[in-house]
Amino acid sequence: MAQTDQSRIRNFCIIAHIDHGKSTLADRIIEKTGLLTSREMQDQVLDNMDLERERGITIKAQTVRLVYQAKDGEEYIFNLIDTPGHVDFNYEVSRALAACDGAILVVDAAQGIEAQTLANVYLALDHDLDVFPVINKIDLPSADPEHVIEEIEDVIGIEAQDAPLISAKNGIGIEDVLEQVVEKVPAPKGSADAPLKALIFDSVYDSYKGVIVFCRLREGRVKKGTRIKMMATGATAEVVEVGYFGAGQFIPCEELEAGMVGYLTASIKNVKDTRVGDTVTDLDNPCGEPLPGYKKVNPMVYCGIYPADTNKYPDLRDALEKLQLNDASLFYEPETSLALGFGFRCGFLGLLHLDIIQERLEREYNLDLVTTAPGVIYKVYKTSGEMIELTNPSNLPDPSEIDYMEEPIVSAEIMVTTEFIGPIMQLCQERRGRYLSTEYIETTRALLKYELPLNEIIYDFFDALKSRSRGYASFDYDLKGYETSKLVKLDILINKEEVDALSFIVHADSAYERGRKMCEKLKEEIPRHLFEIPIQAAVGGKVIARETVKAMRKDVLAKCYGGDITRKKKLLEKQKEGKKRMRQVGNVEIPQSAFMSVLKLDTRD
Amino acid sequence: MLFIRKALFYGGMKGYGMKRVGEEKKTAGLYVHVPFCVRKCAYCDFLSAPGTREEKERYVEQICEEIEQEAGRYPGYCGETVFFGGGTPTTLRPEQLERILDKLRSCFCVKEEAEEPEITLECNPGTVSREDLRKLKKAGFNRLSIGLQSAQDEELKKLGRIHSWEDFLETYHAAREAGFRNINVDIMSALPGQSRGSYEDTLRKVTELRPEHISAYSLIIEEGTPFYEQYGEAERLREKYGEDRAHLLPSEEEERQMYEMTGKILGQVGYCRYEISNYALPGYECRHNITYWKRGNYLGFGPGAASLMENCRFTKSRDLKEYGAVFRHGGCGKEGAVSEEGRVERSDTSKTVPEGLDMAESLHREEQYLQIQEQMEEFMFLGLRLIKGVSAEEFQEYFHVPIEEVYGAVLKKLEGQGLLARAEDRIFLTKKGIDVSNVVLAEFLL
């Protein structure tokens, strides 16, 4: 690669509310700059996980290097980073932003600003990025670009009059976007002659090359043979290869220098040596201070993950280690359950994150998992004055040792059309929300502000929000802090035996309701046995709800006509297959799905 | 060795079916499926439908040819038992049935040796006359299985049966007069509108006639039948009709009581239960039926008929048209398809019959050569349907491995739960085990 003048480099990302068309715009930009021919193009090129394509969402930030021939006659290098839109993946966005100098804000011409539009803009501004808006989906019949432009200027307070009006889907206006990238995204600064200072913003593991470190060079240069040092972990290595990002592939080059975005490999086998957010420097010519990195995001939701097949525990451990490498927000530590054996307590940014990780583990690592009910971190203050952070309900100390407990509270912003304010406020009320304010963005839309206990929104809040607003409400939240709360541990007893993996912490006022629903749900989940099985919910040893799984239905004594036994055999095989997915707790076989059933407790009947 | 070709498939395993290879006499149960009936019953999901005269005639031709062809594939077999099932086999004329039976006799040496062969014909009341029965007896059928189902006309009507209790009596007595000394009567429990009282009455009435054999099944509501629409979802029906018995099937508990009543009442008057749903006077157990549970060879003819031959399971095509296409070529039908020009074309058998296969084989579906493990599974879950269960010694004899080595843990567990019992060599289901037989039998899948 020819050496490139810093003034011709543009490092930028695309931010937007989910579904406003980030990935489609990225596709068009890639197509327009000729990196891929339209024959090679497929939708959402940068979403290369199957999961991303299926769900139509971006989970991982992706980077691609493009060459753009601008109208001024110059050739520019674009490093484009596509980012996720969902609130759970803010952390990914944050990492991507740290590698950029500017951001394209995509706003849907029909929907206008949504909760995550705001959240992402704030994130970008926190990183000192220059943000310029693009109005997408102008081909929609309901598009109202004028209105949206006004909204952007009023609500966000950034200039939007010259925002390109585009349709990423139909390739309208893409040229304008590219020109504005050249014009509005600042060129990187930083001296190539200074000591190496590069920010690790992502990494992946390759079984041949070891860890592939994605970095943004702020200062200095790096090439094959450079001896590098990770400033936070102290790990050192010799660079084997440097390069940049093609479409879905790594393209080696001679050297990376200040202002560039690229990757390096250095036969790093230990995943833990390269921490995302760390600074890479030259071992022989180190820089003084590391880069600030970025705010470490703490997991908010915890659950137990167990291999369905207990022998797969080491496989699960390896898989988690590899996933954590490019998803530093994933936290895990070993735990054991009487019901489920050896597994891990894992921390996630939210329920979607949990869902995605679980699915990635199952698909990419071919694991069959049992997941327990998700919970949050509670602070338990003991009478001894000691405070413990509780992530696993089973570890709750005896009530006599507890002075009081605190639960996490979030500040939530819900953007909703005015007709649904009523139902949404009712939902927040049901979830123990504390109303703060209503701000009218315009006459038909409002921003509701609430404080909500996190454990009330990790279940099905998002779904409930969508269903009560016919899909119109959008939602974003931030951890606000901890507050004292009347919490109890709800235990589930199956056939009189407490099943640790089914316990959860709940507000005392909802304990009865949740216990009852849990019992009902489990009654549906647990198949009939040879004997009757009582299912009980108890708080502090006192049973508050009960259901019974009746003893097994007796078999119909089927006729096997004409010696055709295949049907019979299929029936028996089905019976046996069902058994495989069961966990033995005492005398009772519990299907794995039962452990997740607490998730599906709809709060409305 | 006559069976080298097949033996290659299961790698010389010494399974039950192989045991007889090389011995003088190879035997098989022969089953003929007659896919015709007078009218489809509301609960029936078997392959049957009313047929025209021509269809029936063509069917007889096809079956005869199929028998010849299969005999070529399995030479040297003797038909120890013969069973004509359906549908209603007696919707064919006695001459037609005789023709098929004769074909079986000539192809599979069905002849009296030490024991008289058991040759069963299923029939429904009202489909056979005295004269027919005499002809059939003369033709060689020596066991008659009459589909009664219930002695209550109300219940018969709901089932969509074409006959009454009186019609049955007439057929039954006519059969006796015609010389049938081995008669089975099919009855059913758990019928819509049936009560314990009415079922008991059916049992009493039937036993008074002293048939040699009684099959007592409970009604299964099969998807795709009119009964499924009518009685399929108990919950839904309860909502609609409340507890009105007329619209509901007997409850699970009632059904169970009926099952128990069957064993008790039949036992009191000398019938012995030898299989979960079958009862007989001593010495009259259905040999053909036992063949299924003991995994003897059996060969089925006609659409949808199942076979187990030399440890290979297969089913004949259920598609009557396909049947026609295969046999039109060589059979006596010979009409072929008439083309637009009016020229009679040789039908396209070249397409339906792959090269190297004879015609009968081209109708084989779901062919499955059983691995040794599958043979063991079947040995257990089929054998345990017999009241006397399975023999540990036989297991070892067939598989050359002690049963304990394969199923030790399962047997111990099930015995511990009181679902299985052992008496010397035999392992069998207990009463409790019979109640939940599917759970027990599933344990024997490896």
Whether the predicted pLDDT of B246 surpasses 70: no
Does B252 sit within 8 Å of A554, measured CB to CB? Answer: yes
What is residue B122's predicted lDDT score, i.e. its pLDDT? 95
Interval B307-319 mean pLDDT: 90
Taking the whole predicted model, whether its pTM rises above 0.90 is answered as: no
Question: What's the pLDDT at B245?
Answer: 54
- Mutation test of the interface with chain A: which of B439, B440, B444, choosing the one with the most A Cβ atoms within 10 A? B439
> Is any Cβ of chain B less than 8 angstroms from the Cβ of A560?
yes
pLDDT above 80 for A94: no
For residue A565, is pLDDT > 60?
A: yes
As a whole number, mean pLDDT of residues B203-230 equals 88
Nearest chain A CA: its distance from B387 CA (Å): 13
Phi, psi of B361 (to 5 degrees): -65, -30
Residue A57 confidence (pLDDT): 56
Rounded CA gap, A576 and A35, in Å?
Answer: 53
Kindly tell me if the per-residue pLDDT of A164 is higher than 60: yes
Given an 8 Å threshold on Cβ–Cβ distance, is B31 in contact with A554? no
Q: Strand A378-382 vs strand A341-348: parallel, antiparallel, or unpaired?
A: unpaired
Using the beta-carbon criterion (under 8 Å), do A575 and B298 form an inter-chain contact? no
Residue carrying the six token digits 């970008």: A124
Residue of A nearest to B290 (CA): A563
Average pLDDT over chain A, rounded to an integer: 83
Q: Are A554 and B439 an interchain contact pair (Cβ–Cβ within 8 Å)?
A: no
The pLDDT, as a whole number, for residue B5 is: 34
List the single range of A16-25, A121-130, A220-229, B334-343 with lowest mean pLDDT.
B334-343
Give the distance from residue B274's alpha carbon to the nearest chain A alpha carbon, in angstroms. 14
Asked if the model's pLDDT at residue B43 lies above 80, the reply is: yes
Q: Is A577 on the interface with B (CB under 8 A)?
A: no
B168 shares contact with chain A (CB less than 8 Å): no
B445 touches chain A (CB under 8 A): yes
Q: Does B276 contact chain A (CB < 8 Å)?
A: yes
Q: Is A542 on the interface with B (CB under 8 A)?
A: no
CB contact under 8 A, B438 and A571: yes
In angstroms, the separation between the Cα of residue B343 and the nearest Cα of chain A is: 41
Above pLDDT 90, what percent of chain B? 52
Q: CB distance from A575 to chain B under 8 Å?
A: yes
Tell me, what's the ipTM? Answer: 0.72
Concatenated DSSP letters for A439-460?
Answer: EEEETTEEEEEEEEEHHHHSSS
Residue B18: pLDDT band with limits 50, 70, 90: very low
B31 has a chain A CB within 8 A of its CB: yes
* B85: chain A residues, CB-CB within 8 Å: 561-562
The whole-angstrom distance between A553's CA and the closest CA on chain B is 8
Shortest CA gap A293–chain B (Å): 56
Q: Is B313 on the interface with A (CB under 8 A)?
A: yes
More confident residue, B437 or A87: B437
Mean pLDDT in residue range B95-117 = 83
Do B306 and A556 make contact, defined as CB atoms within 8 angstroms? no
Cα separation, A450 vs B437, whole angstroms = 57
* DSSP H stretches of helix in B121-209: 130-139, 153-159, 165-177, 196-209
Q: Is A568 on the interface with B (CB under 8 A)?
A: yes
- Tell me the shortest Cα–Cα distance from B298 to chain A, in angstroms: 8
Is the confidence at residue A499, as pLDDT, over 80? yes
Q: Between B426 and B220, where is the model more confident?
A: B426
C-alpha of B365 from chain center:
18
Band of pLDDT at residue A529, cut at 50, 70 and 90: confident
Residue of chain B minimizing CA distance to A531: B417
Interface test with B, best of A572, A588, A589 (most B CBs within 10 A): A572
What mean pLDDT is predicted for residues B254-262? Answer: 86
A563 CB neighbours in chain B (<8 A) are: 29, 31, 291-292, 298, 300, 306-308
DSSP state of A156: I
Alpha helices in B242-280 (DSSP H): 252-268
Q: Which of A90-99, B38-47, B89-98, B141-150 has the lowest mean pLDDT?
A: A90-99
Q: Do A558 and B220 touch (CB under 8 A)?
A: yes
Q: Where are the beta strands (DSSP E) in A246-328?
A: 250-253, 255-257, 261-265, 279-282, 301-307
CB-closest option in B307, B308, B438 to A555: B438
Residue in A528, A553, A561, A579 to test binding to B, most B beta-carbons within 10 Å: A561
Helix (H) / strand (E) element for B326: namely: helix B320-328
Highest mean pLDDT out of A35-39, A272-276, A383-387: A383-387
Burial A520-559 (b: 16+ CB within 10 A, else e): ebbeebbbebeeebebbbbbeeeebbebebeebebbbbbb
Mean pLDDT of B310-323: 85
- pLDDT band with cut points at 50, 70 and 90 for residue A599: low
Contacts of A553 in chain B (CB under 8 A): 252
Q: What is the pLDDT of residue A89?
A: 65
Comparing alpha-carbon positions, the chain B residue that sits nearest to A530 is: B436
Q: Which of A59-68, A219-228, B160-169 has the lowest mean pLDDT?
A: A59-68
How many A/B residue pairs have CB atoms within 8 Å? 84
Report residue B199's pLDDT band, with 50, 70 and 90 as the boundaries.
very high
CA B427 from centroid of its chain's CA atoms: 25
Given 3-state DSSP classes, what are the helix, strand and coil percentages for chain A, each rounded to the nearest 5?
30, 35, 35
Tell me which residue in A530, A557, A563 faces B308 most closely, judged by beta carbons: A563
Tokens of B299: 């060969």
Q: Name the band, by pLDDT with cuts 50, 70 and 90, for residue A563.
A: low
- Average pLDDT on A460-465 reads 79
**B259 interaction partners in chain A (CB closer than 8 Å):** 557
Higher pLDDT, A487 or B358: A487
- Which is more confident, A107 or A233? A107
pLDDT-derived band at A91 (thresholds 50, 70, 90) equals low
pLDDT digits 0-9 by tens, A353-381: 888 888 888 888 888 888 888 888 899 99
Q: Is A604 on the interface with B (CB under 8 A)?
A: no
A564 touches chain B (CB under 8 A): yes
Chain A contact for B308, CB < 8 A? yes
- Are the beta carbons of B366 and A566 separated by less than 8 Å? yes
**Contact residues on chain A for B381, CB-CB shorter than 8 A:** 568-569, 572
Contact B24, B79 (CB under 8 A): no
Nearest to B91 by CA among B43, B33, B142: B33
Which of A557, A560, A562 faces B33 most closely, judged by CB atoms? A562
For chain A, positions 51-90, list CB contacts with chain B under 8 A: none
- Using CB atoms within 10 Å of the CB of residue A586, give its burial: 0 to 12 exposed, 13 to 18 middle, 19+ buried: middle
Span A444-464, average pLDDT: 85
Closest Cβ opposite residue A563 in set B31, B215, B437: B31
- At B19, the pLDDT band (50, 70, 90 cuts) reads very low
Lowest model confidence (mean pLDDT) among A201-215, B4-18, B317-331: B4-18
Does residue A572 belong to the interface with chain B, where contact is any CB pair within 8 Å? yes
Query: What is residue B17's predicted lDDT score, i.e. its pLDDT?
Result: 40
pLDDT at B184: 97
Most confidently predicted of A43-47, A571-575, B172-176? B172-176
The answer on pLDDT for A169 being more than 80 is: yes
Cross-chain CB nearest to B445 (options A556, A562, A576): A576
Residue A35: is its pLDDT beyond 90?
Answer: no
In chain B, what residues touch A566 (CB-CB under 8 Å)? 306, 313, 315, 366
**pLDDT band, residue B336 (cuts 50/70/90):** very low
pLDDT at A289 over 50: yes
Contacts of B252 in chain A (CB under 8 A): 553-554
Q: Do A562 and B438 touch (CB under 8 A)?
A: no
pLDDT(B321) > 90: no
Residue A509: DSSP 8-state: G
Among the ranges given (A467-471, B125-129, B385-389), the one the predictor scored with the smallest mean pLDDT: A467-471
Predicted confidence (pLDDT) per residue in B260-311, tens digit: 899 999 999 999 999 988 999 999 999 999 999 999 999 999 988 999 999 9
| Rounded mean pLDDT, A569-590 | 77
Q: What is the pLDDT of residue A557?
A: 57
Q: Which range has the worst mean pLDDT, A42-46, A68-72, A311-315, B435-439?
A: A42-46
Is B381 close to A557, i.e. CB distance below 8 A? no
Q: Does residue A558 sit at the B interface (CB-CB below 8 Å)? A: yes
The answer to whether the CB atoms of B220 and A556 lie below 8 A apart is yes
Place of tokens 């409850």: B251
Given this model, what pLDDT does residue B235 score?
56
Mean pLDDT value across residues A126-151: 90
Instruction: Check residues A61 and A146 and name the one with the higher pLDDT.
Output: A146
Nearest-Cα residue of chain B relative to residue A556:
B218
Whether residue A572 and residue B381 make contact (CB cut-off 8 A), yes or no, is yes
Residue B435 near chain A (CB below 8 Å): yes
Other CB atoms within 10 A of residue A461 CB:
22
**The pLDDT value given to residue B340:** 39
What pLDDT is stored for residue A295 in this prediction?
60
Where does the pLDDT of residue A120 fall: very low under 50, low under 70, confident under 90, or very high at 90 and above?
confident
Residue B347 reports pLDDT greater than 50: no
Provide mean pLDDT across the span A322-341: 83
Contact present, A220 and A39 (Cβ < 8 Å)? no
